[in-house]
């Protein structure tokens, strides 16, 4: 699916997204799960073709070897290592089917307490600061309540300064480094402190919890972990080490929405705010993310942008921003389904794995 504009981060530029969907078909319902792995292993070790392969050869057969339910997926897949995004897609598809069959919504199942959620937007690295300012201005005009700037060495302090000078201190502003820095950059990153940012997201390598703890002692800007948070256990360890003050929860990265809810609960118990990250999802993944973001611990706006932020035409009815918020779907399951003609238009291959 082509993106409406190139999206550049510290690990590369994306112009299209290869979307892997998992459908779970039962007698009384059909569920959908979206795998958020990218085409190449740059954001993480996972990538789309590997996810399809591990689902086909290992995960689906393991899940189908016994009684099938969303809560049993983790146990069925326990013998296998890694591939969290593939796990999440499979679990979500089964959970969606179960909830559709019982008439329950994703939000109700996860514990949502809000009917709509505030939305932020992630702004990629641009060719120039004027281009960045125009992009930020456009998103503010659309009503987004928080701006996130992607940063990397050479594109950090000055872009942030420019946005603050143009749009003022009232704009909720944060930055995301996607592991682009080292602890040796602490003094440089401290130059972001005067701009009163909500947070700096994942400045160091994902396995460097001690480095993040040391960095947090050297800068005033709160440190948020993204790639480092792979499970509720990892979140608890990061919090105990004082490696972060805020947590970004991405369900695909942690193996699914059930584990995402457990991470939420751990963070709430420790008084650590959370927010929902995004991975350029279609309307299927966006529906589940919006439901998750309606849980009580999600006190910061997430990357739950409207469909039009990334796609000129989504595969579901589009999510449209209203007053800076998106409505939480209330229908059974995800509350949205693919539009058949649109899905056919963008589908390049389909494979059925019978029980």
Q: What is the CATH number of the domain that holds 93?
A: 3.30.390.10
Residues with Cβ < 8 Å from 41, sequence gap 6 or more? 47, 50
Kindly state whether residues 175 and 27 are assigned to the same domain: no
Kindly state whether residues 175 and 288 are assigned to the same domain: yes
282 found inside a domain: yes
Kindly state whether residues 128 and 99 are assigned to the same domain: no
Active site residue 150: yes
Kindly state whether residues 241 and 95 are assigned to the same domain: no
16 found inside a domain: yes
pLDDT tens digit at each of 355 positions of the chain:
999 988 888 778 889 999 999 999 988 899 999 999 999 998 889 999 999 999 999 999 999 999 999 999 999 999 999 999 999 999 999 999 999 999 999 999 999 999 999 999 999 999 999 999 999 999 999 999 999 999 999 999 999 999 999 999 999 999 999 999 999 999 999 999 999 999 999 999 999 999 999 999 999 999 999 999 999 999 999 999 999 999 999 999 999 999 999 999 999 999 999 999 999 999 999 999 999 999 999 999 999 999 999 999 999 999 999 999 999 999 999 999 999 999 999 999 999 997 6
Question: Cα separation of 296 and 329, whole Å?
Answer: 17
How many domains are there within the chain?
2
| Domain membership of residue 297 as a residue range | 109-327
Q: Which of 104, 119, 145 is the last residue of a domain?
A: 104
Dihedral over Cα of 32, 38, 44, 50: its sign: positive
Kindly state whether residues 89 and 122 are assigned to the same domain: no
**How would DSSP label each residue in 272-338?**
--EEE---S--HHHHHHHHHHTTSTTB-S-BS---GGGT-SS-SSSPP--BTTEEEPP-SSBTS---
49 found inside a domain: yes
Q: Which of 100, 148, 212, 250 is catalytic?
A: 250
Kindly state whether residues 232 and 298 are assigned to the same domain: yes
| Cβ atoms of 355 and 64 closer than 8 Å | yes
Kindly state whether residues 172 and 301 are assigned to the same domain: yes
Sort strands 246-249 and 200-201 into parallel, antiparallel or unpaired: unpaired
Q: Which of 8, 150, 261, 309 is catalytic?
A: 150
CATH of the domain at 116: 3.20.20.120
Active site residue 148: no
Kindly state whether residues 152 and 301 are assigned to the same domain: yes
The closest alpha carbon to 312, from 15, 28, 1, 86, belongs to 1
Kindly state whether residues 136 and 226 are assigned to the same domain: yes
Kindly state whether residues 235 and 286 are assigned to the same domain: yes
């Amino acid at each position: 699916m082509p993106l409406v504009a190139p999206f550049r981060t510290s690990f590369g530029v994306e112009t299209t997204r290869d979307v892997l969907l998992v459908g779970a078909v039962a007698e009384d319902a059909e569920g959908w799960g979206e795998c958020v792995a990218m085409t190449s292993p740059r954001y993480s070790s996972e990538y789309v073709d590997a996810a399809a392969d591990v689902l086909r050869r290992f995960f689906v057969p393991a899940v189908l070897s016994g009684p099938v339910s969303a809560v049993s997926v983790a146990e069925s897949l326990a013998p296998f290592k890694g591939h969290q995004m593939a796990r999440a897609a499979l679990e979500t598809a089964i959970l969606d089917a179960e909830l559709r069959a019982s008439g329950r919504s994703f939000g109700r199942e996860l514990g949502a307490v809000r009917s709509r959620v505030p939305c932020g937007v992630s702004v990629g690295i641009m060719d120039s600061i004027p281009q960045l300012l125009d992009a930020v201005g456009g998103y503010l005009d659309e009503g987004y309540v928080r701006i996130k700037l992607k940063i990397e060495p050479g594109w950090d302090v000055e872009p942030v300064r420019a946005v603050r000078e143009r749009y003022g201190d009232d704009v909720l502003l944060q930055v995301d480094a996607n592991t682009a820095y080292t602890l040796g950059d602490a003094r440089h990153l401290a130059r972001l402190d005067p701009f009163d940012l909500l947070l700096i997201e994942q400045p160091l390598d994902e396995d460097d919890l001690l480095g993040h703890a040391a960095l947090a002692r050297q800068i005033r800007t709160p440190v948020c972990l993204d790639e480092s948070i792979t499970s509720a256990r990892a979140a608890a360890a990061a919090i105990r080490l004082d490696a972060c003050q805020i947590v970004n929860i991405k369900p695909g990265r942690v193996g699914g929405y059930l584990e995402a809810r457990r991470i939420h609960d751990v963070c709430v118990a420790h008084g650590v705010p959370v927010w929902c990250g995004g991975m350029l999802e279609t309307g299927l993944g966006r529906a589940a993310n919006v439901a998750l973001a309606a849980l009580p611990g999600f006190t910061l706006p997430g990357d739950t942008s409207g469909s039009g932020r990334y796609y000129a035409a989504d595969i579901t009815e589009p999510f449209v921003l209203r007053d800076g918020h998106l409505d939480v779907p209330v229908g059974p399951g995800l509350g949205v389904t693919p539009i058949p003609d649109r899905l056919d238009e963008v589908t390049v291959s389909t494979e059925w794995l019978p029980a």
